[in-house]
Amino acid sequence: MTETELEAQETVDARGAACPGPLMDLIGKIRSVDPGTVVLLLSDNDQSKTDVPEWAEESGNEVLGIEERDDHYAFYVEKT
């Protein structure tokens, strides 16, 4: 099985940040980009696995994919 080929135009590296830091960093970046932009959030906080999808659904943005990497998670979120 091959890894999903997702490309992001912007990256937010929130590894090491306590909750809700990663989500707050993502929200700030999403607000500053144009619709259609894909933002990659890097987070090693387990709470992000539920926070990011819940926020995306509430805010109308779309989680394109979540990858579990060696020591962190990668969230691909498209601003709608």
Q: Which residues are catalytically annotated?
A: 19
Q: Which two tokens stand for residue 64?
A: 């394109």
- List, in sequence order, the alpha helices (H) in 1-80: 21-32, 48-59
- Find the radius of gyration of the CA atoms of the chain: 12
**What is the layout of strands, in order, in the sheet containing 10-13?**
10-13, 38-43, 73-78, 62-68
